[in-house]
Amino acid sequence: MTTLILPAYAKLNLTLDVLSRRQDGYHEIASVLQTVSLHDLLIAEPAASASFEATGPPMAGENLVLKAIRLLEQRVGRPLPLRLRLHKRVPVAAGMGGGSADAAAVLQAATRLYELSLTVDDLQEIATQVGQDVPFLLRGGTALATGLGSTIEPMPALPRRWAFLVVAPPVAVSTQVVYAAVDGRAPSPQRTPVLVAALRGGRLDAPSGFGNDLESATRSLYPELDRAIIPVSAAIPGVTMTGSGGAFFAAFGSVAAARAAAEKVRAMGAPVWVCRPVPGWS
């Protein structure tokens, strides 16, 4: 019996510009996304009947893994029973796309294990139905996300020597609640076009220019998160939020610099990781 073991890499929003709020309540955004080495691990194998078990931090909200399998089965018109074991490491409800990464991994696993004749475009279409971050996490790397966040354009890779410090205070954040508090009328600094131009022009040397239009809303809605991140920001300049929170990150030009910063944060008692950028994959 064939068994696949796939990493489900987390993502960071290096930038997140909220451009407008649509009449249906959703938001038009522009964001530069990056997969990082912090990951969940998915173990998948064909089975007579489907099963799913997860270890690690409790999963929050809708189970996107099961949703992805259900939509894939609808697309191909037959059951695809899998025995799935998921080892969770990515912080949940933290804006790092952990559940979306798991869903992307199971789409890849089922397609390979059952040798499905699906194109990349087919999988992207299914991924969009699962969740906004899933299309990006099918391929990973560095990308520009526009529209509702699921229109993806690959970007040149970040410098390989870079590293990220990620800190995730134990505060679960609701993406829906945060976006509901943002009407899209406040002017955005529009960091994304500047970063995209630097990536395309090969001018991105030192980490800079990151930021997130949702950060002020999240910190206002979750004062315990705000209190937790204030000392981190004082110790590590340039810390910014990913997604709708509550994980924060800072970028460094080397692993050594990121590890030194992580020691400062670890002394504060906050959960912290040092990650590398992960390039895209086929």
Residue 252 burial by Cβ neighbours in a 10 Å radius (0-12, 13-18, 19+): buried
Q: In terms of DSSP H, where are the helices of 114-181?
A: 120-130, 134-139, 175-180
Separation CA 219–CA 246 (nearest Å): 8
Tokens of 81: 């029973």
Active site residue 205: no
CB 184 within 8 A of CB 30: no
Residue type, 152: I
What is the Cα 198 distance to its own chain's centre?
Answer: 22
Residue type, 224: E
Of 99, 13, 107, nearest in space to 61 by CA: 99
- Catalytic residue selected from 102, 133, 213, 226: 133
CB 12 within 8 A of CB 96: yes
27-46 and 51-55 beta bridge pairing: unpaired
- Catalytic residue selected from 11, 102, 213, 226: 11
Separation CA 113–CA 123 (nearest Å): 15
CB 218 within 8 A of CB 246: yes
Active site residue 88: no
| Residues annotated catalytic, as ranges | 11, 133
